[in-house]
Structure 1
Amino acid sequence: MTTTRAAREAIRVASRVVAKPLPWSTIKQNESESFTQFVDRLQAAIDSSTLPVEAKGPVLADCLRQQCNSKAKEILRSLPAGSTIADMIKHVANEEHLAPIQVAVRTAIANMMWKVLPQGMINSPTICQITVDRALAPVRRSDPTATIIEYMDDILIAAPSGSQVDQLVSTVSETLKTNGFEIASAKIKRGPCVSFLGVNITSSYITPPQMKIRRNIKTLHDMQQLVGSLQWLRNVVLIPPETMSPLYDLLKGKNPWEQKTLTTEAMSSLDFIEQQISSSSLARWKPNVPLDLYVHFTAGGGVGALAQGPPEKAQPIQWIVLGKPSRAFSPGVECLGNLIMKGRKLALRHLGFEPATIYLPFRKQLPTQSVAMSEHLAIALVGCGGEVRHARKPPWTQMLTIVDIDLPQKIVDRPQPGPMVFTDASSVTSTVAAVWQSEGEWHCIKMTDRALSVQQLEAAAVVLACGLFPMEHLNIVTDSMFVAKLCLAMSGPGVSTSTIALMLEEALFSRKGTISVIHVNSHDPIKGFFQTGNDKADAAAKGLWTLRDARQLHESLHIGAKALAKRCGISATDAKHIVATCPHCQKAPLWSSGVNPRGLKASEVWQTDFTFCQLLKPRAWLAVTVDTYSGVIVATQHLKTDSKATIQHWLTAMAWLGVPNQIKTDNGPNFVSKSVQAFALKWGITLIHGIPYNSTGQAIVERANQTLKSKLEDRIIGHPRNPYTPVTKEDNKLTSTPSKPGNSALAETKQRQNSPRRGGPRCLCVILILELVTIEQDIFDSCEVLILVDIQEPTGKDFEQL
């Protein structure tokens, strides 16, 4: 605690006075005296002195520490030296299990302890409310038939008879004076018609406070004050939730000074509220009439009422409303459950008993389906001793937009016979896709919107699927847990507050048929029916089918990789791969002979394997692919068996045979790597893996490996060449282009020569692949396969000789 110079001087002056003892210096705390009583006596002595106002606080703090009893001194020693008077009083009161007193706020120093208080208040309204409530507690216990309600400095007293009210007024006045409060007699109002907190109370009804609604809204802060003032009226004035919705929308913002203006819908809502304030009223509670609870579900939420009288002529005594929904979607049954729990609590708090009857907005003929099957209603009705009935229409329902809560469910939690649609979304391409299978063929519809988030895209995919098969039951499979749970929650009417919930609600309830929403985990290694369809939808959403479209565009225009990537929106690597698979765009011309790859079932199923050939060292690995329909073999030579070599081999094979539908391999690491899986996924190729290093199911390619190596061994070993033999002029001409790593060629045609020759022109492709071995052209005159690898840009004359 800090003191001013004048206060310190006053303390010094007071300490020098010896002849005449000061009034507070002789006040000591007795052992049996409570600390609060000691503070009261000490405070009164200091207030009656002539000390300056700024000195009274430090003197009181010093006397509290020095003149208290030994027990209080032990308690105060645990406090730091600079503690305020309020801290000392509160600490001792907590230790003695006593309530803190209000006397500390009368000193100048204690008034400074509150840093921020609402609406410029001097004291805390919470402490004031608690203090008055504790002072009135003995009066309440002495007369249980009376009702005493206090709010800050306003007190309402009600009793069965007028004489009882007069006696309670005198008792309350004496009790408050004993606790240090003063009551102005001129402000005490008696009679059947009084006003409490602006509410006019008569002998039979209650009218809300007449207020003029502020309309000159300029900032978000002004809008927040307006909505806050209207919330206080909703217990005494019927304001439906849909009326407050335009006002809630204006509360959206980031800064209090943000500019706001009332919309047309907000102005209409304010006009309706003003009309309700001027014309509505509530009935007073009658102890001899049973209390009933009514709950209704409207388009904007829920409304309830505590009322008395028969349902057709029920008179409300208090309205029950809920706050603004905070979740994306709140089911209507959940809103009803919250209204029931709130109504039961209000009845117990204000009247001391629960409603005798609870009226629910369900049809009379559907009690089991409507009530017994809802966990929200079951929880809300736990411990209720009253009667539950179906609702009749009370008079106030004419002002509400009632929504039928018993509509047939649009969404079921189990699959039903009907079309199966798989949905997915991609944040990379901002594309949603819905795929389905019909008569063995997959169909797809897509939509792109770059303004949507990932969750909104997943919801948009379900909306896209809802437009399919509107008259039939539709099974929708999604990998979004959020969307799946949200759809299941929307099986009945509810309140949608988010953009996702609004678009789903509109799509679901616009259909004639029902819907089942199924959730699956994406990219599950255990493949099944649902995973296959989900993979198809995932591939469609990521734009993987675009590669086939881009290849068709390239086949018609033969544009370059850069232009193809820009035109089709694919990566430069994918565009280069497409160009590499085009026979007409290769740097080296292709042979005109060979098997036509465009047969009826050509390029449908391939088998690929790597085989080791000792004779071809240092590049001893051959990647071999066989088209199982045409029998064409494509082989390329590589230094090692990795994923890069696998992709390069398939690109070369695709240039000759086209894009396959399925490739069967073993489980080697080069075939199961992520890069190879991604390559196959982009091209829409299905990879099937067998047992590692086991030829079961791959007999065709294994037989091709054996045939290929046997022919190489036969011909190369049968025609050895001394590596130190000088290269002839003809050889030099054919091998003038240097060989690069990974670029080599070996080819053979099925065309047989009638008269084999030993001294004919040498095969350029064989020279490039084997590098140190020269093989005559007629070595492969009996070969039944076609083998291809990269060819170094030979000249036209070389191909004429070939």
Structure 2
Amino acid sequence: MGALQPGLPSPTMIPANWPIIVMDLKDCFFTIPLVAQDCPRFAFSVPSINNSEPMQRYHWTVLPQGMKNSPTICQIYVARALSGVREQYPQILIYHYMDDILIAGASVDNLQLVVKDTVQALQKFGLQVAPEKVQKELPWHYLGWKIMEHAVEPQRVALKWEVSTLNDVQRILGAINWVRPLLGITNDTLQPLFDLLRGDPALDSKRILTPEAKEALAHIEQAIQSRQAHCVHDGYGLQLYIINAITQPLALLGQWVATNNDPLLLIEWVFLPYQPVKTITTRGGNEVQLRGEEVHTIYIPLTKEHLDWSLANSIPLQTALLGYGGTLSIHMPAHKLFMAFKDIEIVARPRCSPVPVSGITVFTNGSGKTGRAVIVWKEEEHWKEEIHVVQGTPQIVELVAVIKAFQRWSEPLNIVTDSQYVCGVVQRLEKAWLKHVNNEQLFSLFKQLWYELNRRQNDFYVLHTRSHTNLPGFIVEGNRRADRLTAPVWATPVPQTIKQAQLSHEFFHQSAKALRKQFGLSWDTARAIVRACPDCQPFAAVRQTGVNPRGLYALQLWQTDVTHIAEFGRQKWVHVSIDTYSGALRATAESGEKAKDVIRHWTAAFAALGVPSTIKTDNGPGYISQKTQRFLQLWGVVHVTGIPHSPQGQAIVERSHQTLKHMLEKQKGGMVGESPQVRLWKTVYTLNYLDIREAAVEQRPPIVRHFLSFGSTDRIDVSSKDVKVWVRSLQSGQWEGPYTLITWGRGYACVSTEQGPRWIPARCVRPALEKANHEDTDKPAVANDMGTADADDRNSSEPHVNDSLEQ
């Protein structure tokens, strides 16, 4: 429950010469009874001495002070007690704030009757008026104000201006803030004090009054001592005087009484926030809230030309005056208060045109990655450009480009930008009040742009256009040229092939090897495209060094496992199956890892890749359940499991988890709003069709290698291979063989032995060459570093060999 009265009632709305009675409720909180069923909610305990007995439990029967909602309950209760009197005497003013009540009427006799009925209404609700605090004679003191017959001024209080910490500054500004609307203390006067609020946010952080702050406090103290506001006069309408001050506009709510010596009655000042939350505040809110009616006349400090143009073109002014039935005037009354502002320059109309102007068209663009702020324009059928190097965010670089354009051209200018942020800033910044931002570089650019806009003598127009479109025309071409100049890759005209490769990588994020194979690029060009991609920088290539048994052809052996991707929400269980021969994989996002989820994944994988002979998994419940085993038997698939709790037996699919997650992260920027499964489909397509594994012997994408192996000529034929190798046993450390090499890759090899295919680490394999010395028939001849047999190394248990198998 929030505050029911966000502000204090203004005493200036009490008509002049009205009699007033101010009363105070005695022990207001403790006279408000609680509802019986709510009393236990206000319970408390009283501890016993030395814990000699259990604590005594009590609860309040009346409203206690100090509770969070106690003030709100008090306001509601007292307002309900006064509601009958308000309805009975609508012509009487009754101000109520907490336990302070003010009653004002046109005549004393009528006021006495209202006070009597008010006291009786309060007593019916159990509320008592403190007789010693009833005020019947002027001056009346109410909520810190001293109310007289015709004016209101703050009560005389001792002012303490000592400042040593941030808390002291905050306390002083809080005390000033409630009197400034009636005394006219402007934001310009308070600015030195506002500046002290910046810096260390700790309340006890040191603060020292600057000379400007001391001067401001002296001015404020004089205003409190000498200034006052006036009470409204019946029969005279309210006027709103908008004053165009030096830094920001302000307004005065007042009345013009020609019969007075000083005809201008100052009712209340209206100031814009020093740090505004929003740019535009519509008309009518404050005065309607104060008096319940709109102002009679609004005085605006504009020329006729400016007013006519604004009424026709300014949407904010049209919105503010919508439904206003009073008088709008541009002629301020003759008064000394308004004479101080007559010399302030008024611009006839904004220079920012809502339609294109007759002048040069300039295209601006910027990139935070390269720090290039680019300006492009066409002059005599030739395109020209200007490039500035700036360090900062994309918004800062874009702002610099626009500022440079305004500095270069003073004549009528059309600016085209693909930054909606910059377009909005330029359109709103002219003659605006700048809010201070913590980013000093950004605030400095705002001030530079503000200066360039306000010193222009010719109109300008700013247009936002979408980038990377294939539409024809001058605007798209100019923006494309500016965009091309922001990146180093596009600093000079480039072949169409490189552009296609870069666009392809921006969408799929395939590897440099895949780009080289797909587009026929050089290694340097392909690697430069990958290095220039910010989405690929955090992910380094993974070197495959595992020795898991693999299939000798497609669909011979799969590995299946489940990984978790938390951002997928309810579908965070991602099931992955990979063919150990081709590297082709299938991934589906499921809502769990039970048997039904495993079966659903395998059914989709079979449809995409085919039915494997063997699937290897861990011993998770979803894989070894009877339901899963019946499914595999129905499809004729052999199921094997690895060593329990050992992920090394599933190293191939485990490694694919990392590859899959890295690719998902790379492609994340272009898949905002897509479902988890759609994101997975794009990632799987990239890995299957556009990627070439670093360890692949054949330079083909996995899906091509997968389906080509279905023909017998593409399978590995052991009998056709005549490569002999020596193999070192991991148990005995002795060299065995020679065996026929079936296949190999980075970190692994497969040889044909009497017991069948055998998978071993590549470091344990050496090529078997002809012997250089036929006298020794017990030791194998192996290749040395020069590629010939070395008699000195024959007896070594770990001979020097050519490591070509590991390359």
Unmatched 5+ residue regions in structure 1? 1-42, 48-56, 65-75, 88-106, 118-122, 549-603, 610-637, 652-802
* Structure-2 separation of matches of 1:448 and 1:427: 10
Tell me if 1:314 matches 2:314.
no
Aligned letter for 1:368? D
Partner of 2:520: 645
C-alpha contact (below 8 Å) 1:86/1:110 kept by paired residues? no
Aligned letter for 2:401? A
Distance 1:483 1:607, change over 3 A: closer
Tell me if 1:195 matches 2:141.
yes
Question: Paired residue for 1:513, among 454, 458, 470?
Answer: 458
C-alpha contact (below 8 Å) 2:310/2:317 kept by paired residues? no
Q: Which entry has the higher C-alpha Rg, 1 or 2? A: 1
Tell me if 1:447 matches 2:388.
yes
Aligned letter for 2:90? P
* Structure-1 separation of matches of 2:514 and 2:75: 87
Aligned letter for 1:290? G
Q: How does 1:410-425 map to 2 (within 5 A)?
A: 410-425=351-366
* Structure-2 separation of matches of 1:141 and 1:372: 45
Q: For residues 521-562 of structure 1, give each alpha carbon's deviation from its aligned partner in whole angstroms, at most 9, with x where no partner exists.
A: 12223353223322332333334576x7xxxxxxxxxxxxxx
Of 154-163 and 400-409, the range deviating more from structure 2: 400-409
Partner of 1:696: none
Structure 1 residue 427: Cα displacement: 0.9
* Structure-2 separation of matches of 1:153 and 1:414: 59
Structure 1 residue 463: Cα displacement: 0.9
Tell me if 1:487 matches 2:426.
yes
Partner of 1:160: 106
Partner of 1:236: 182
* Structure-1 separation of matches of 2:270 and 2:525: 71
Of 405-414 and 188-197, the range deviating more from structure 2: 405-414
Partner of 1:473: 412
Structure holding more strand per residue:
2
Structure 1 residue 287: Cα displacement: 0.7
Structure 1 residue 484: Cα displacement: 0.5
* Structure-2 separation of matches of 1:209 and 1:501: 43
Distance 1:283 1:650, change over 3 A: closer
* Structure-1 separation of matches of 2:524 and 2:354: 48
Structure 1 residue 392: Cα displacement: 0.4
Question: Paired residue for 1:294, among 230, 237, 241?
Answer: 241
Tell me if 1:462 matches 2:402.
yes
Structure 1 residue 257: Cα displacement: 4.3
Tell me if 1:174 matches 2:120.
yes
* Structure-2 separation of matches of 1:297 and 1:237: 18
Structure 1 residue 468: Cα displacement: 0.6
Aligned to 2:189, the other structure's residue is in SS state helix
Question: Paired residue for 1:428, among 340, 365, 369?
Answer: 369
C-alpha contact (below 8 Å) 1:299/1:495 kept by paired residues? no
With structure 2 as the length reference, what TM-score do the two structures score? 0.50
* Structure-2 separation of matches of 1:639 and 1:314: 81
Q: How does 1:499-538 map to 2 (within 5 A)?
A: 499=443, 501-538=446-483
C-alpha contact (below 8 Å) 1:240/1:300 kept by paired residues? no
Distance 1:402 1:325, change over 3 A: farther
Aligned letter for 1:272? H
**Among the aligned pairs, what percent are the same residue?**
28
* Structure-2 separation of matches of 1:401 and 1:458: 38
* Structure-2 separation of matches of 1:456 and 1:641: 36
Partner of 2:765: none
Distance 1:511 1:607, change over 3 A: closer
Q: For residues 424-470 of structure 1, give each alpha carbon's deviation from its aligned partner in whole angstroms, at most 9, with x where no partner exists.
A: 111112332223333344443333342x3322222222111111122
* Structure-1 separation of matches of 2:515 and 2:305: 77
C-alpha contact (below 8 Å) 1:429/1:541 kept by paired residues? yes
* Structure-2 separation of matches of 1:261 and 1:543: 50
Tell me if 1:342 matches 2:282.
no
Of 167-176 and 197-206, the range deviating more from structure 2: 167-176
Aligned to 2:129, the other structure's residue is in SS state coil
Aligned letter for 2:299? Y
Q: For residues 461-499 of structure 1, give each alpha carbon's deviation from its aligned partner in whole angstroms, at most 9, with x where no partner exists.
A: 2111111122x1122221110111221223555455442
* Structure-1 separation of matches of 2:514 and 2:121: 102
Distance 1:111 1:266, change over 3 A: farther
* Structure-2 separation of matches of 1:404 and 1:532: 42
Partner of 1:84: 41
Structure 1 residue 114: Cα displacement: 7.1
Distance 1:172 1:278, change over 3 A: same
RMSD: 4.0
Aligned letter for 2:485? A
Aligned to 1:298, the other structure's residue is in SS state coil
Tell me if 1:140 matches 2:86.
yes
Structure 1 residue 84: Cα displacement: 1.9
Q: For residues 688-738 of structure 1, give each alpha carbon's deviation from its aligned partner in whole angstroms, at most 9, with x where no partner exists.
A: xxxxxxxxxxxxxxxxxxxxxxxxxxxxxxxxxxxxxxxxxxxxxxxxxxx
Structure 1 residue 209: Cα displacement: 3.4
C-alpha contact (below 8 Å) 2:163/2:208 kept by paired residues? yes
Aligned to 2:76, the other structure's residue is in SS state helix
* Structure-2 separation of matches of 1:605 and 1:139: 85
Distance 1:526 1:379, change over 3 A: closer
Distance 1:83 1:178, change over 3 A: closer
C-alpha contact (below 8 Å) 2:243/2:300 kept by paired residues? yes
C-alpha contact (below 8 Å) 2:303/2:346 kept by paired residues? no
C-alpha contact (below 8 Å) 1:458/1:480 kept by paired residues? yes
Aligned to 1:507, the other structure's residue is in SS state helix
* Structure-2 separation of matches of 1:410 and 1:527: 30
Aligned letter for 2:106? P
C-alpha contact (below 8 Å) 1:425/1:542 kept by paired residues? no
Structure 1 residue 231: Cα displacement: 2.0
* Structure-2 separation of matches of 1:423 and 1:647: 33
Structure 1 residue 341: Cα displacement: 2.9
C-alpha contact (below 8 Å) 2:236/2:257 kept by paired residues? no
Structure 1 residue 147: Cα displacement: 1.4
* Structure-2 separation of matches of 1:195 and 1:272: 25
Aligned to 2:365, the other structure's residue is in SS state strand
* Structure-2 separation of matches of 1:287 and 1:460: 57
